[in-house]
Amino acid sequence: MSTEIKMLYFIAVIICLEVLIYLWSAWTASLKKDNYFAISHQLIFEKCARNSGRVSAILNLVIVLMIGIFGLKRIYFEKVNFDIFFNLVTILAINHLIHFFYISQNFKRKSLKIKLAQEKRGIFTYICITLFPIFIWYFKNLNTVLYACIILHLLNVSYVFLLALKTKIRYKSKITIHNRFGIIATIVAWIFVVYRVFV
């Protein structure tokens, strides 16, 4: 199977997953109020955004773990690993665009506005995630500057996801164990990356 076909396959999978997330959210809105999973129709896109964000966090975790296991140099020097790495960052970008769509629909449904002044870091991170596949594709020769840019980008993305998970634990979620696991897994993954780089 060619690289392009694999890419289309993974894009189709992530789109199907996001459609399932929407269908699940819409279905829970049809449940009786006494059902534990029931939500109001107004919260459909909020639930979509929350779950699509978790998918992005998982994809980011896989990317970080891949760097920890193989190292960036090996990823760049072995075509198979580079193709997997590129596919992952592309899928993350597409998934996060869908995540943004869900957020925008949630704000629209609740008649809210995104406060740009307060969300500078989040907006910056969104742009970086979206442009990152283009950046990776264009700069194929790994050097010290590129190495640092990739690590700093993924570190920033991980930090933003950690903040989001922490917020859900403190204010939003009925069940917090998966969010706590996400925080611990991300931190452990970065400790592993640091260990591999410096030890």
pLDDT per residue as tens, the chain (199 positions)? 677 788 888 899 999 999 999 999 999 988 887 777 778 888 889 899 989 999 999 999 999 999 999 999 999 999 999 999 999 999 999 999 999 999 989 888 887 777 766 678 888 999 999 999 999 999 988 999 999 999 999 999 999 988 887 776 555 555 567 778 888 888 899 998 888 876 5
Residue spans of the domains in the chain: they are 3-198
Helix axes 79-109, 44-70, angle to 10 degrees: 160
**What pTM, to 2 d.p., does this model score?**
0.88
Q: Are the C-beta atoms of 56 and 99 separated by less than 8 Å? A: yes
* Chain-centre distance for alpha carbon 192: 19
**18's tokens:** 């996001």
Helices (H), 44-119: 44-70, 72-77, 79-109
| Residue that the structure tokens 């194929």 belong to | 140
Report the C-alpha gap between 144 and 148 in whole angstroms. Answer: 6
